[in-house]
């Protein structure tokens, strides 16, 4: 399966960052529950190296994956980083000793998280840092994020962050953040089956040239299940997950994908989705899945 196209390229607004639209999400490189080391550390390194060799130049990560584990694997596998590789990380959480996810939202905690990411990735400056709201998943909760975005903007002025993005946020929160600093990307839950909250937002951001990066593009820990998806995949001689990823690429030109896997085989399947063409008829069928 060809991976040459990788769904085309996208340039983040107001930056020199241009990436292939199919990237890689590093969350699954950590152990079970995104906690502790992976069962196969050498395999995790191999997946990252294969991704970059195949043309991936956009990696999504966070130092609270593990914690620290994922970024340390990225550094081991890829440092010194090739020219043009964009590493996007996120802050706002920490891990409890019981693997729980805990909010870390104070300016001091955000500053510490940025320094943790820099140290474990082996970088002097982070390309993009997403502030992740610790509200709900499919539908983010309302609430001001001004203190947190202001803290990151201060770190940006100090030269530790090049660009700022947002994750798990509402349109109102995006507007609030944009009054503090330019926002280059938004990362929310969105896929062919779950899109009722963000359909209009995708189009709005596209009109403003802002990248939309869906997390859980394949349904998260509960993979997408749909007879329609399976039937279309059979007709196209593809997998259902490839069709789901291809639908996202067709949905809007500002969508960037970060499917994650710890398997080289699954990585190759995900990248091949970037060259899968969907006809208008197929797109109409897939549009009927969502809610």
What's the pLDDT at 137? 55
Counting beta carbons within 10 angstroms of the beta carbon of residue 98, is it exposed (0 to 12), middle (13 to 18) or buried (19 or more)? exposed
Asked if residues 65 and 27 have their Cβ atoms less than 8 Å apart, the reply is yes
Asked if residues 75 and 120 have their Cβ atoms less than 8 Å apart, the reply is yes
Other CB atoms within 10 Å distance of the CB of residue 123? 17
Look up tokens 């994020």; give the residue.
145
What's the pLDDT at 138? 54
Tokens of 213: 């990066």
* Residue 46, phi then psi, degrees to nearest 5: -65, -40
- Orientation of helix 227-236 relative to helix 240-251, angle to 10°: 90
CA atoms within 13 A on the CB side of 206: 14
Nearest to 140 by CA among 220, 67, 201: 201
Q: How far apart are CA 131 and CA 129, in angstroms?
A: 7
pTM of the full structure: 0.94
Tokens of 71: 């970024």
Asked if residues 239 and 267 have their Cβ atoms less than 8 Å apart, the reply is no
DSSP state for residue 257 in the 8-state scheme: B
Per DSSP, what are the bridge partners of residue 167?
Answer: 132, 187
Q: How far apart are CA 21 and CA 175, in angstroms?
A: 25
Asked if residues 114 and 126 have their Cβ atoms less than 8 Å apart, the reply is yes
Catalytic residue among 24, 65, 190, 212: 65
Annotation says 65 is catalytic: yes
What's the pLDDT at 1? 32
Q: How far apart are CA 243 and CA 200, in angstroms?
A: 22
Q: How far apart are CA 137 and CA 169, in angstroms?
A: 9
Tokens of 161: 């962050």
The structural architecture, per CATH, of the domain 10-287 is Alpha-Beta Barrel (3.20)
The domain segmentation of the chain, as residue ranges, is: 10-287
Per-residue tens of pLDDT for the chain, all 291 residues:
334 467 899 999 889 999 999 999 999 999 999 999 999 999 999 999 999 999 999 999 999 999 999 999 999 999 999 999 999 999 999 999 999 999 999 999 999 999 999 999 999 999 999 999 976 555 577 789 999 999 999 999 999 999 999 999 999 999 999 999 999 999 999 999 888 789 999 999 999 999 999 998 988 666 777 899 999 999 999 999 999 999 999 999 999 999 999 999 999 999 999 999 999 999 999 999 876
Tokens of 32: 């079970």
């Amino acid at each position: 399966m060809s991976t040459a196209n990788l769904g085309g390229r996208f340039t983040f607004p107001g930056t020199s960052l241009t990436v292939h639209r199919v990237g890689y999400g590093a969350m699954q490189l950590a152990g079970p529950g995104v906690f502790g080391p992976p069962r196969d550390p050498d395999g995790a390194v191999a997946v990252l190296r294969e991704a970059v060799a195949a043309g991936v130049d956009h990696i999504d990560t966070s130092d609270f994956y593990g914690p620290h584990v994922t970024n340390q694997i990225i550094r081991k596998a890829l440092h010194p980083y090739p020219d043009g590789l964009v590493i996007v990380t996120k802050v706002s959480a920490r891990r409890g000793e019981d693997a729980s996810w805990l909010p870390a939202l104070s300016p001091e905690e955000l500053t510490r998280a940025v320094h943790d990411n820099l140290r474990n990735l082996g970088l002097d400056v982070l390309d993009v840092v997403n502030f992740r709201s610790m509200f709900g998943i499919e539908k983010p909760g309302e609430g001001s994020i001004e203190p947190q975005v202001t803290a990151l903007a201060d770190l940006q002025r100090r030269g530790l962050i090049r660009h700022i993005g947002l994750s798990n946020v509402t349109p109102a929160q995006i507007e609030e953040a944009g009054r503090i600093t330019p926002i280059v990307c938004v990362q929310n839950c969105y896929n062919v089956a779950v899109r009722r909250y963000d359909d209009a937002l995708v189009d709005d951001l596209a009109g403003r040239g802002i990248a939309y990066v869906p997390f859980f593009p394949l349904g998260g820990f509960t993979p997408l299940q749909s007879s329609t998806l399976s039937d279309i995949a059979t007709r196209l001689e593809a997998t259902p997950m490839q069709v789901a990823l291809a639908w996202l690429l067709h949905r809007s030109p500002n969508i960037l994908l970060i499917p994650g896997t710890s398997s080289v085989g699954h990585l190759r399947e995900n990248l091949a989705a970037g060259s899968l063409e969907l006809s208008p008829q197929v797109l109409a069928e897939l549009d009927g899945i969502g809610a």
